[in-house]
Amino acid sequence: MTIRAAIVGPTGYTGLFLTELLLRHPGAALTYLASRREPPVDLRDEFPRLHGRLDDELAVSRPIDPQAIAAAADVAFLCLPHKAAMEHTPALLDAGLRVIDLSADYRLRDADVYERVYDTPHEDADRLGEAVYGLPELFRDQIRGAQLVANPGCYPTAAALAVAPLIHAGLVSADRVIVNAASGVTGAGRKEKAHLHFPEQSQAYMAYGAIGGHRHQPEIEQTLEHAAGRPVPVLFVPHLLPIDRGILETIYLDPTPGVDEARLMEAYHRAYADEPFVRVKRDPPNVKHVVDTNCCDLSVRLTGPADRPTVVAFAAEDNMIKGASGQAIQNMNLMFGLDETAGLR
Amino acid sequence: MTIRAAIVGPTGYTGLFLTELLLRHPGAALTYLASRREPPVDLRDEFPRLHGRLDDELAVSRPIDPQAIAAAADVAFLCLPHKAAMEHTPALLDAGLRVIDLSADYRLRDADVYERVYDTPHEDADRLGEAVYGLPELFRDQIRGAQLVANPGCYPTAAALAVAPLIHAGLVSADRVIVNAASGVTGAGRKEKAHLHFPEQSQAYMAYGAIGGHRHQPEIEQTLEHAAGRPVPVLFVPHLLPIDRGILETIYLDPTPGVDEARLMEAYHRAYADEPFVRVKRDPPNVKHVVDTNCCDLSVRLTGPADRPTVVAFAAEDNMIKGASGQAIQNMNLMFGLDETAGLR
Amino acid sequence: MTIRAAIVGPTGYTGLFLTELLLRHPGAALTYLASRREPPVDLRDEFPRLHGRLDDELAVSRPIDPQAIAAAADVAFLCLPHKAAMEHTPALLDAGLRVIDLSADYRLRDADVYERVYDTPHEDADRLGEAVYGLPELFRDQIRGAQLVANPGCYPTAAALAVAPLIHAGLVSADRVIVNAASGVTGAGRKEKAHLHFPEQSQAYMAYGAIGGHRHQPEIEQTLEHAAGRPVPVLFVPHLLPIDRGILETIYLDPTPGVDEARLMEAYHRAYADEPFVRVKRDPPNVKHVVDTNCCDLSVRLTGPADRPTVVAFAAEDNMIKGASGQAIQNMNLMFGLDETAGLR
Amino acid sequence: MTIRAAIVGPTGYTGLFLTELLLRHPGAALTYLASRREPPVDLRDEFPRLHGRLDDELAVSRPIDPQAIAAAADVAFLCLPHKAAMEHTPALLDAGLRVIDLSADYRLRDADVYERVYDTPHEDADRLGEAVYGLPELFRDQIRGAQLVANPGCYPTAAALAVAPLIHAGLVSADRVIVNAASGVTGAGRKEKAHLHFPEQSQAYMAYGAIGGHRHQPEIEQTLEHAAGRPVPVLFVPHLLPIDRGILETIYLDPTPGVDEARLMEAYHRAYADEPFVRVKRDPPNVKHVVDTNCCDLSVRLTGPADRPTVVAFAAEDNMIKGASGQAIQNMNLMFGLDETAGLR
């Protein structure tokens, strides 16, 4: 049996990567492209790399019609902006589709936090309780049975995988987590902007946004609170790299007394021994080695003076794959009982 | 005596590079920034790299008021788009300023050609006869006495320097010149565009525009006709490189009978022996070696089967320096009797 | 049935890409890594992106032992340098393996040409007659039955696909073909070199090698001679782009009398209508759109003055995929009766 | 009077940038290139961008002969590796030259620390007391009178400028300073290495070296101890950016009680109000805006929960200019009574 997949809002970068992953997937097929755009858009014109790889009927977008989508597909990937996603989710679920939402709309369990962070009312708050946060390494069992999966943000995926096991094992303090993060430019979306014009962004490197005010900070805090059993304040400082894809997070933590480097590494090895997509490494990871894979590479060090050591954890991933579209496929595989790694090797 | 310089339209990349060159110039000073923008623009906000290097009074743009500019400056650099440049030039000249126009408005001597290529009427056609084409290596003497200099296009500068001596010496046929050109993205201007969004242009390479229809083609033909004494059809194919700055042109020519490589190189050496900014090289030039200099590097080879050899000429320059703002400074130096290399070493 | 594949010499870039393609291939499996290196090399240490994706037993290289390889595999991909390839090929064939050689050793049918171009004796010249040149679009039927396939060079693949149909249809002159080519740096191999040190090659662009003397020039000429039925002199000028992967060739040809652009495009459409990996495009292709695909994108224009028009053809491919490892997989698929596109979508 | 300058060891990147800065300097002239290399090296062959800009006599290196250098020059810039620098410094000083050493040999005041960090005996330890640490913003007066200046490391320059005023003003704790740093690849030197091969370093980003064990860490600690009046443990984590030039440091500090953001900014403004090369900015700085300038851009924020806020300071500089050769020129200007900004605008 082949899982039939629809993409709703396919004209951004997550839509492109989902399309390419589905084209390669041995157990799933892309069957419907739904877009709000009028006139309809031929995805091959948007992304010339898809020429010859999508047939004529599929390539042209159709309306976001839940009944029509449900007739053609088993699962809908939502690649819409936040706010637009929650406008369409209820009807897609009602039509019988399972939904994997790549926006932020169902990630935060607390509607008040959502409304503060995204500065807009949550129009489907009742459903927050049933949405499952789609980070398989932490929530695999819930994902299997979910109708609605909130696919995690790119930065939060890496941060959660790096920090949760250390906090959970009590090896680091939950009082402060500093996440110094750097991302490739696809993370900023496909819409051109003055500061992302090639001659401005080439050979550039900077922090961006309100320092300590990025929307992914509360999402990281939510997952770490789940691991710690109590609130974990995160200081998140994102930077923009002059590359297309890839995230590296360098994370500074305070060890609990008596912790040594071996125990930190052991916590990673124990947490991820059977995980197909988390790789624990001796050396600090390099975004180059994870790009175009669904892997998140981790490493951890204990350093600094003996009387005030610091834990430095590293996490690298492809923001478009493990940080978005690849993880969405991993979630689909789990939801439909496929091999979790299908199409992601 | 210090030459006082105004920049009209300083918010594009040529304005930035002119500003930086003038800040370093030992015999000239930037005294006036004129812009059509309302409200006035602080150039330090446009280009943060200028912070602390322009004082408060100078940094904020003032109106394009010819009398005020003439009171503050001896020369006006026009960094306006074509069409806007010829709207302002007459009044600036009338106010007593000498004008160096970096747009295309006064480059083509034939108004009909201009109107066809730029698809707009020429509103100051009478002045085309007195404007001097600002390529010092070919027109140094005229530049010295000019009131109005038309600063050459970036591509035409490299093409003319590479081809004119070979045609002039009768070493290559004037029947066809193929210019395969590649430029960094600053050449496309400062306005963001979808295909110049960093993730689209990074790791990219393509030809662009109407093949054989680029606006610089007639400008190259005009200069080569001057060198040949008869029309020279040019086929110009521009490509976009994933770099900030730099142009390389690889030029294919048919040698006249009996020509060998030594004679080709000799033509270059003879033409440029005393030129401070043209470097004749044995090896093909690299844009890396000319960026941030006012140099144009040339090399030439004869290759192919003995019965149908081909001349391959190479020219490299920084499109922003020798291809625009540096050449404008070189022209200013000539016009005001300064050392031609002042501020350009 | 799963085809079992060995890679001989897997530590270069073609080895890495072959490994990744085989990991994704639905009908083939990587079963043996053979290397001359002593001590044996763990490919996961060479290429950290393979961590967790190769199991322990497979990952460590074993000697180039033809009997052992033949016991474990049906086909051997040779990723050795030229010269080394022909040392190992006879024994691998004798052991019953089918061989796909990614080096240049069996590409040129004439041992004299090989010896001149590669400046070394050909030690297996008798076999040149039975080696099949592995360009499926031109030699599909021969590849199907071949024991030994000479996988084409990266530049020759693009050039042949762009020019052969035009020459074959008599639309362009066979008297001179100018191939202005540009390649990403993986094409120069994995060994570090002074001019490929990141700060030298970043933001750089240049022609390289002996102009008109690149080793791929005779290989292109051989294929075009096959298409034309007579010798076709090629002038090949390669340039190095500051990108990882991708080739773009801009090719200048003389049209035969009366040819128009429509007939040129028609020749492409006719030649490639049923080809899964050649895409004929209206717009000039961009390397960005072919990277990480097995596609070669083509476009063609007629331009210049009516009395001396020029044909400009464009070809873009990923030098590592269609230009090397992807084409090798395509050849394997043909040789073993698999779907030609298996593992390459 | 023109200051005559020699460069000892000019074939690395600091030598190139010094050469270019000296060529532009209005009050200094490059008069001698001294190298250990045999046969002598023509610097124009090492760096083709210098062709036509150095005359024949100067361009070819001469031996490191202190008497000959002293006859030709007033000041010697040492661009040798550490260890080699201290072998030559005594004789150069004895010959009457003033010396600006760009290596690490005279930066650390404590020979024991040097020997531990650089794992080699210090052969000129007696002179450590008289060498002046060449960071003008902190040690201007001592530099003026110095015979021997130890030009600071690239990372330590940015870190000291960002942190010293905050520590000195008592606004942040001296108990721990976390410096998350990222540098362009010129910082790794000119010698090619496997991991700096273009296809490995392009589109890459990673931490490198022994985390917490970089040689610049004790140098930063030494300067901060000077500012604090007591030892300041620094945790320094360097990363490599896929760019040529530029450093950005993101620095995490604990504020002392009651500190707010305004007081942090005020401390910067007070410390650097009259500094020509330190720019205090509202927005986090971008390496793009400092490259090719001698500026260090600073910004600072207070963020995080009210009961445990964190100070985030940013510092950006060009590692080759303010981080090396530009700062060396600034030091020369001070030592010889020139305008401190001469040649650096």
D42-71 confidence digits (pLDDT tens): 999 999 999 999 999 999 999 999 999 999
Q: How far is C247 from chain D (nearest CA, A)?
A: 14
Question: Annotated catalytic sites of A, by residue?
Answer: 154
Return the residue of B nearest to A246 by Cα: B199
Return the residue of A nearest to D284 by Cα: A207
Residue C314 confidence (pLDDT) above 90: yes
Query: Is D185 close to C202, i.e. CB distance below 8 A?
Result: yes
Looking at residue D330, its pLDDT comes to: 98
Return the residue of B nearest to A194 by Cα: B192
> CA-to-CA distance for C318 and C274, rounded, in angstroms?
20
- Residue A248's SS3 state is strand
Please answer whether residues C196 and D192 qualify as being in contact, where contact means their C-beta atoms are separated by less than 8 angstroms: yes
Return the residue of A nearest to C344 by Cα: A24
Looking at residue A170, its pLDDT comes to: 97
Q: What is the pLDDT of residues C182-217, one digit of tens each?
A: 999 999 999 999 999 999 999 999 999 888 889 999
Amino acid in the structure at residue D55: D
Mean pLDDT, residues A134-141 taken together:
98
D272 phi and psi angles, rounded to 5 deg: -120, 15
- Residue A85's SS3 state is helix
- Residue D182's SS3 state is strand
Please answer whether residues A279 and A297 qualify as being in contact, where contact means their C-beta atoms are separated by less than 8 angstroms: yes
Q: List residues of chain C with CB under 8 Å from any CB of chain A.
A: 23-24, 26, 47-49, 51-53, 203, 276-277, 279, 281, 283, 285-286, 288-293, 295, 297, 345
Query: Is B301 close to C203, i.e. CB distance below 8 A?
Result: no
Residue D1 confidence (pLDDT) above 90: no
Is A213 exposed, middle or buried, given 0-12, 13-18 or 19+ CB atoms closer than 10 A? exposed
Q: List residues of chain A with CB under 8 Å from any CB of chain D.
A: 175-176, 178, 180, 182, 184, 200, 203-208, 211-213, 233, 235, 237, 239, 241-246, 248, 250, 252, 284-288, 291, 301, 303-305, 308, 310, 312, 314, 316
One of C79, C154, C295, C296 is an active-site residue; which one? C154
Q: How far is B345 from chain D (nearest CA, A)?
A: 6
Q: What is the pLDDT of residues A224-246, one digit of tens each?
A: 999 999 999 999 999 999 999 99
Q: pLDDT class for D305, splitting at 50, 70, 90?
A: confident
Please answer whether residues C278 and C298 qualify as being in contact, where contact means their C-beta atoms are separated by less than 8 angstroms: yes
Q: What is the pLDDT of residues A82-108, one digit of tens each?
A: 999 999 999 999 999 999 999 999 999
Residue with tokens 């927005």: D283
Residue ranges with strand state E in chain C: 3-8, 28-34, 75-78, 98-101, 132-133, 148-150, 172-183, 206-207, 234-240, 247-255, 278-280, 296-303, 310-317
Please answer whether residues A59 and A84 qualify as being in contact, where contact means their C-beta atoms are separated by less than 8 angstroms: no
Mean pLDDT, residues D1-8 taken together:
96
- Tokens read off for D338: 């020139």
Q: Which of D71, D75, D7, D82 is nearest to D37 (CA)?
A: D7
Mean pLDDT, residues A247-267 taken together:
97
Looking at residue D196, its pLDDT comes to: 97
Residue C281 confidence (pLDDT) above 90: yes
> CA-to-CA distance for B167 and B161, rounded, in angstroms?
11
List the single best residue of D21, D49, D281, D296 to mutate versus B (max B Cβ within 10 A).
D49
Please answer whether residues D162 and D251 qualify as being in contact, where contact means their C-beta atoms are separated by less than 8 angstroms: yes
Evaluate the omega torsion of the peptide bond into residue D233 and state whether it is cis, within 30 degrees of 0: no
Please answer whether residues D162 and D314 qualify as being in contact, where contact means their C-beta atoms are separated by less than 8 angstroms: yes
Residue A7 confidence (pLDDT) above 90: yes
Query: Is C52 close to A295, i.e. CB distance below 8 A?
Result: yes
**What subunits make at least 3 CB pairs under 8 angstroms with D?**
A, B, C
Return the residue of D nearest to C203 by Cα: D244
Amino acid in the structure at residue A284: P
Return the residue of B nearest to C231 by Cα: B305
Query: Is A186 close to B197, i.e. CB distance below 8 A?
Result: no
Q: Which residues of chain A does C290 touch, with a Cβ-Cβ cutoff of 8 Å?
A: 49
Looking at residue A194, its pLDDT comes to: 96
Query: Is D194 close to C194, i.e. CB distance below 8 A?
Result: no
Q: How many helices (H) and strands (E) does chain D have?
A: 12, 13
Please answer whether residues A286 and D205 qualify as being in contact, where contact means their C-beta atoms are separated by less than 8 angstroms: yes
Query: Is D308 close to A180, i.e. CB distance below 8 A?
Result: no
Looking at residue A306, its pLDDT comes to: 86
Of B26, B48, B293, nearest to D49 by CB-CB distance is B293
Mean pLDDT, residues B268-275 taken together:
98
Looking at residue A204, its pLDDT comes to: 98
Q: Which residues of chain B does D286 touch, with a Cβ-Cβ cutoff of 8 Å?
A: 48
Q: What is the pLDDT of residues B10-66, one digit of tens each?
A: 999 999 999 999 999 999 999 999 999 999 999 999 999 999 999 999 999 999 999
Q: Which residues of chain D does C14 touch, with a Cβ-Cβ cutoff of 8 Å?
A: none
Q: pLDDT class for A1, splitting at 50, 70, 90?
A: confident
Q: Which residues of chain A does C203 touch, with a Cβ-Cβ cutoff of 8 Å?
A: 203
Q: What is the pLDDT of residues B97-113, one digit of tens each?
A: 999 999 999 999 999 99
Residue with tokens 């393609």: C21
Cα D129 to Cα D76, D105, D146: the distances in Å are 20, 12, 11
- Tokens read off for D28: 């200094």
Planar angle of CA D136, D142, D146, nearest 5 degrees: 105
Mean pLDDT, residues D223-245 taken together:
97
What does pTM read for this prediction? 0.97
List the single best residue of B19, B47, B53, B341 to mutate versus D (max D Cβ within 10 A).
B53
Q: pLDDT class for B212, splitting at 50, 70, 90?
A: confident
Q: How many helices (H) and strands (E) does chain A have?
A: 12, 13
Mean pLDDT, residues B179-183 taken together:
98
Residue D210 confidence (pLDDT) above 90: no
Residue C305 confidence (pLDDT) above 90: no
Looking at residue A124, its pLDDT comes to: 97
> CA-to-CA distance for C142 and C145, rounded, in angstroms?
6
Of A203, A239, A246, nearest to D291 by CB-CB distance is A203
Looking at residue B1, its pLDDT comes to: 81
Query: Is D281 close to B52, i.e. CB distance below 8 A?
Result: no
> CA-to-CA distance for A319 and A17, rounded, in angstroms?
11
Return the residue of C nearest to D198 by Cα: C198
Q: How far is CA A235 from the centre of its chain?
A: 19
Please answer whether residues D115 and D122 qualify as being in contact, where contact means their C-beta atoms are separated by less than 8 angstroms: yes
Of A205, A246, A304, nearest to D233 by CB-CB distance is A304
Four-residue CA torsion sign, A198, A199, A204, A208: negative
**What subunits make at least 3 CB pairs under 8 angstroms with C?**
A, B, D
Query: Is C345 close to A295, i.e. CB distance below 8 A?
Result: no
Domains (ranges, CATH) in chain B? 3-152+323-335 (3.40.50.720), 155-319 (3.30.360.10)
Q: pLDDT class for A345, splitting at 50, 70, 90?
A: confident
Q: Fill in the DSSP letter of residue C260.
A: -
Residue A210 confidence (pLDDT) above 90: no
Q: Which of A1, A48, A36, A150 is nearest to A19 (CA)?
A: A48
Q: pLDDT class for A61, splitting at 50, 70, 90?
A: very high
Looking at residue D286, its pLDDT comes to: 98
List the single best residue of B176, B205, B240 to mutate versus C (max C Cβ within 10 A).
B205
Reported ipTM: 0.96
- Count A/C contacts: CB-CB distance under 8 Å: 54
Q: Fill in the DSSP letter of residue D186.
A: G
Return the residue of A nearest to C278 by Cα: A52
Is D270 exposed, middle or buried, given 0-12, 13-18 or 19+ CB atoms closer than 10 A? exposed
One of B79, B154, B295, B296 is an active-site residue; which one? B154
Of B49, B52, B289, nearest to D48 by CB-CB distance is B289
Query: Is D287 close to A213, i.e. CB distance below 8 A?
Result: no
Query: Is C49 close to A345, i.e. CB distance below 8 A?
Result: no
DSSP sequence for A30-44: EEEEE---SS--BHH
Q: How far is B175 from chain C (nearest CA, A)?
A: 9
Query: Is D250 close to A244, i.e. CB distance below 8 A?
Result: no
Residue D212 confidence (pLDDT) above 90: no
Return the residue of A nearest to D312 by Cα: A211
Of C23, C49, C293, nearest to A49 by CB-CB distance is C293
Q: Which of C150, C174, C291, C184 is nearest to C224 (CA)?
A: C174
- Tokens read off for B256: 């006249």
Tell me what the pLDDT averaged over chain D comes to: 97
Of A207, A212, A286, nearest to D314 by CB-CB distance is A207
Query: Is B49 close to D288, i.e. CB distance below 8 A?
Result: yes
Q: Which residues of chain B does D292 touch, with a Cβ-Cβ cutoff of 8 Å?
A: 292
Tell me what the pLDDT averaged over chain A comes to: 97
Mean pLDDT, residues C122-151 taken together:
97
Q: Which residues of chain C does B212 touch, with a Cβ-Cβ cutoff of 8 Å?
A: 301, 303-304, 310, 312
Q: pLDDT class for D72, splitting at 50, 70, 90?
A: very high
Q: Which residues of chain A does B199 touch, with a Cβ-Cβ cutoff of 8 Å?
A: 13, 184-186, 190, 244
Q: How far is D345 from chain B (nearest CA, A)?
A: 6
Tell me what the pLDDT averaged over chain C comes to: 97
Instruction: Please report which residue ranges of D152-278 form alpha helices under DSSP H.
Output: 154-168, 198-201, 216-228, 261-272
Q: pLDDT class for D283, splitting at 50, 70, 90?
A: very high
Percent of chain D with pLDDT strictly greater than 70:
100
